[in-house]
Amino acid sequence: MTLDPNTALALLEWQVELGADEAMLDAPVDRTELPEARPPAAPAPIPVAPAAASAPEPEIDRVAAARAAAGAVRDLEDLTAAIEAFELCDLKRGCERTVIADGNPAARVMVIGEAPGRDEDRIGKPFVGRAGQLLDRMFAAIGLSRGAETGDSALYITNIIPWRPPQNREPTPEEIAMMLPFVERHVALAAPDVIVMMGNISCQGLLGRRGITRLRGTWTEAMGRPALPMFHPAYLLRNPEAKREAWADLLSLQARLRGGA
């Protein structure tokens, strides 16, 4: 069939209106199908400079820190404040109280024990449990008391460690070394005539040796002062047969104080 030009032009315009506006393709195109949605292009990554490797924090020398804190102490009140402010000993975190000392600082005899126990941690004074009661009876037998007002008949009592170790375990060598500068300053400020070292931990800290059954009863020197190792009262509670040796040590201490040894 032959179309006249006007009819052909009208049909062409009608096809254009329907969307048939491109040449014939090899394959049919479904114009009713929506075009496939393309995901938006991802933004180009912003270049980031590589982070500089952080330098490891320098390890704190805890003994040096304790030595510096103790060296700044001027009196016993300062010493108490310095120990209570010392945060580098992990033992402090698990304790109720810091146990510094008890008795008369003017005493001729300074007793240095090991570490607080449960009763000491609760009350805040050294040697207040069963072992402390035995210690009081032992020294009362030679006329010495922590409650005495005069130095000749008084006792001054402290420990190597001011905080109770967990489950009453022994302090570690590192803990002893850390707190020893405070003990040294304590002895220098109290200036006793004689030091009594109660038990292995005290001997380890002040003498660098253990073995209280061999050391007890033999006079030595600790921190520039005459020192006598003795059984700890807790050991005597577990081994009552050792009270005989403890009595001999007390008599030796009494003779020393009287100037006879």
pLDDT of 255: 97
Where residue 231 sits, what CATH number does that domain have?
3.40.470.10
Provide the number of structural domains found in the chain. 1
Query: In this predicted structure, what is the pLDDT of residue 40?
Result: 58
Query: In the predicted model, is pLDDT for residue 35 greater than 60?
Result: no
Report the pLDDT value the prediction gives residue 202, as an integer from 0 to 100. Answer: 97
- Specify if 41 maps to a domain: no
Answer whether residue 32 is part of any domain.
no
Asked if residue 137 has pLDDT above 70, the reply is yes
The answer to whether residue 15 sits within a structural domain is no
For residue range 185-243, list pLDDT tens digits in order: 999 999 999 999 999 999 999 999 999 999 999 999 999 999 999 999 999 999 999 99
pLDDT of residue 163: 98
Residue 41 has pLDDT above 70, yes or no: no
Alpha helices in 27-111 (DSSP H): 62-71, 76-85
Greater confidence, 138 or 27?
138
**Bridge partners, 197 (sequence order):** 112, 229
Q: What are phi and psi of 198, to 5 degrees?
A: -95, 105
Measure the CA angle with vertex 257, ends 251 and 258; round to 5°: 90
Q: Considering the entire predicted model, what is its pTM?
A: 0.77
Q: Give residue 186's Cα distance to chain centre.
A: 20
Q: Judge whether 46 lies within some domain.
A: no
List, as one string, the DSSP characters of 165-208: PGGGPPPPHHHHHHHHHHHHHHHHHH--SEEEEESHHHHHHHHS
Give the pLDDT band (50/70/90) at residue 260.
low
162 located within any domain: yes
* pLDDT above 60 for 89: yes
Count of Cβ atoms closer than 10 Å to residue 230 Cβ: 27
List the structure tokens of 107. Answer: 């005493």
pLDDT number for residue 60: 87
Specify the range with the lowest mean pLDDT, choosing from 11-20, 70-79, 220-229. 11-20
Residue 6: predicted pLDDT: 65
Residue 197 lies in a domain: yes
User: Measured in whole angstroms, how far is the alpha carbon of residue 12 from the centre of its chain?
Assistant: 94
* Segments forming the whole domain that contains residue 170: 62-256
Reduced to 3 states (helix: H, G, I; strand: E, B; else coil), residue 102 is: strand
- Whether the pLDDT of residue 2 is over 80: the answer is no
Residue 117 within any structural domain of the chain:
yes
Examine residue 198 and state whether it is found in any structural domain, yes or no: yes
Contact 109, 225 (CB under 8 A): no
- Measured between alpha carbons, how far is 190 from 182 in angstroms, rounded to an integer? 12
How far from each other are the two terminal CA atoms of the chain, in whole angstroms?
A: 148
Residue 186 vs residues 38, 73, 107, 201: alpha-carbon distances, Å: 81, 9, 13, 17
By CB atoms closer than 10 A (0-12, 13-18, 19+), residue 162 is buried
Say if strands 194-198 and 225-230 run parallel, antiparallel, or are unpaired: parallel
d(CA 200, CA 170): 10
* Weakest mean pLDDT among 20-24, 95-99, 161-165, 249-253: 20-24
Instruction: With cut-offs at 50, 70 and 90, classify the pLDDT of residue 72.
Output: very high
Residue 171 contacts residue 161 (beta carbons within 8 Å): yes
Q: If you average pLDDT over every residue of the chain, what do you get?
A: 88
Over residues 84-90, mean pLDDT: 96
**pLDDT for res 112:** 98
